[in-house]
Structure 1
Amino acid sequence: MNTITAIEPRNKRNKSYELALDDGRTFCVDEEVVVKHGLKPGMLINEEQLREWIWEADIRAACDLALHYLGFRMRTRKQLYDYLKRKGFNEPVIEEVICKMEEYRFLDDEEYALRWIQSRKLSQPSGRRKIAYELMNKGIARDVLETALDTVTQEEEEELVCQLAEKYYAKYSNLPGKECMAKVSQALLRRGFDWDIISRAIRRLDVDLS
């Protein structure tokens, strides 16, 4: 058993307190833990109680940071994990907070992937390969990624490539036929479209390559 020797305010902004024990150790807990458990100098505590209070304080602090982080825009599970890791929380706390955020639908990788694909359609048209690369870098699981990509039909992608091919053709039409088509093809490849779709779009342009 240990005795609490002092409880001093540590940070007025987030209402945290420093709890000092008679063996010289100090711990940070938040105001809610202090009030909930009636902590005060002279109180006897055991190690199990101490671990419970620290856990509660860490979960609450991590949840507050997570809600603030998620409030700006949608994030992936991995992005939130990395953010809380940088803030110094241990893995059990991070996983618990991530589960809470998913439970309350503040965090949803499936929805994130679908919205990312939709935003690419509207603002920066890209092929499945590039979209997959982007989402994998953001930590989206392969099964979630594949399900989201299935919402993009081949017909949609072919039509999109044809529209972009016409746009790039207009841009490079002052070049000789072969050079022009090379430029168009390279631009479409950089956007992550597959070569077979690109080649069909190129043929539809009916450009003289002589």
Structure 2
Amino acid sequence: MTAKITKITAQKRPGRYNIFLDGQYAFPVSEDVLIDFALMKDQEVDAELKKQLLAADANSQAHQLALNYLSYQLRTIKEMRTYLHDHDVGADTIEKIIVQLTEQKYLDDAEYAKAYVRTNMALHEKGRIVIDRELKQKGVAATEITDALALYDTETTVENGTKLAKKVWQRQAKLAQRVRQQKVRQSLQQKGFTGDEITLIFEQLDFSVDPEDEHDLLDETAAKIVRRYRPLSDSKQRQKFKQALARKGFNFDDINRWLEDHSE
């Protein structure tokens, strides 16, 4: 059974058109479909052509949806597949769009991985381990990740790790030297720097502190903590007080000296 196109009208949405068959509204199509199939008034539409038009329109809408998603930033194939699925695009259409975008070079996981590595190198905040994990979560293949991470040379890794370590060291100025160093190491580990890389980074850093500053910090910290554990004449309270300061990074010799100096 065939029908005849009796009218084609533009929708309020740019690039969308309504198709009327035998005087009745039938279905909408995109401008691309209108052009590709050369639709016009009085053209006959059978069931097979209608099926093709609907499939082509679904593909066209999905393609535009994908392009809008890509307009904000690069995406991986896995991210695109998930995005289209979440927007109720059918599985067959999704795969067609993936093929189209890959052929058009809009989707390229290898280039995405390289761009991702370069960006993180410039931001100075992540080591190779974290970048590797994040790229795997985005669906990038292991070989493509390896090739991309080759851009992140040891010199840049140490330089970035050193910058991060200095920031952490400065932020922890209220802690004793030993704990400050631990915080730096933990932060580098969390950001994805390896043990060997951290060793190289530590060689670039000066963790020395002024003994007088360390003494003043102990004095300030102890004065705050002592209120919690009065009276210090009680052995249990005294031990808790020492442990609290030790957790802040002060050694027991300095703590004992402080107690002697503040025996009152």
CA distance in structure 1 between the partners assigned to 2:20 and 2:108 by the alignment: 37
The size of the alignment, in residue pairs, is 207
The residue aligned with 1:197 is 197
SS state of the match for residue 29, structure 1? strand
What displacement does 1:53 show?
Answer: 1.6
* Matched-pair contact (CA < 8 Å) for 2:121–2:156: no
Q: Aligned AA for 2:44?
A: M
What displacement does 1:148 show?
Answer: 0.6
CA distance in structure 2 between the partners assigned to 1:170 and 1:162 by the alignment: 12
Root-mean-square deviation (Å): 3.2
Higher relative contact order (CA 8 A, sep 6+): 1
* Matched-pair contact (CA < 8 Å) for 2:33–2:60: no
SS state of the match for residue 89, structure 2? coil
User: Is residue 45 of structure 1 aligned with residue 42 of structure 2?
Assistant: no
CA deviation map 1:153-195 (0-9, x unaligned)? 2333233323433443344355333212111111111211112
Q: Aligned AA for 1:103?
A: E
CA distance in structure 1 between the partners assigned to 2:184 and 2:32 by the alignment: 62
SS state of the match for residue 183, structure 1? helix
Q: Percent identity?
A: 27
Cα 1:6/1:83, change in 2 over 3 Å? farther
The residue aligned with 2:157 is 157
After TM superposition, the structure 1 = structure 2 runs for residues 81-100 of structure 1, keeping only pairs within 5 Å, are 81-100=81-100
SS state of the match for residue 69, structure 1? helix
* Matched-pair contact (CA < 8 Å) for 2:124–2:163: no
Cα 1:207/1:67, change in 2 over 3 Å? closer
CA distance in structure 1 between the partners assigned to 2:199 and 2:33 by the alignment: 65
What displacement does 1:112 show?
Answer: 1.8
* Matched-pair contact (CA < 8 Å) for 1:165–1:188: yes
* Matched-pair contact (CA < 8 Å) for 2:124–2:161: no
* Matched-pair contact (CA < 8 Å) for 1:10–1:18: no
Between stretches 110-119 and 155-164, larger displacement belongs to 155-164
Cα 1:196/1:38, change in 2 over 3 Å? closer
Q: Aligned AA for 2:18?
A: Y
Cα 1:173/1:34, change in 2 over 3 Å? closer
What displacement does 1:130 show?
Answer: 0.8
Larger Rg: 2
- In structure 1, runs of 5+ residues without a counterpart are none
CA distance in structure 2 between the partners assigned to 1:3 and 1:114 by the alignment: 53
User: Is residue 58 of structure 1 aligned with residue 58 of structure 2?
Assistant: yes
* Matched-pair contact (CA < 8 Å) for 1:181–1:202: no
Q: Aligned AA for 2:12?
A: K
CA distance in structure 1 between the partners assigned to 2:200 and 2:124 by the alignment: 21
* Matched-pair contact (CA < 8 Å) for 1:18–1:28: yes
SS state of the match for residue 125, structure 2? coil
- In structure 2, runs of 5+ residues without a counterpart are 209-248, 252-264
SS state of the match for residue 17, structure 1? strand
TM-score, structure 1 length as denominator?
Answer: 0.78
CA distance in structure 2 between the partners assigned to 1:130 and 1:42 by the alignment: 58
CA deviation map 1:13-47 (0-9, x unaligned)? 141336679xxxx6543355456354667935133
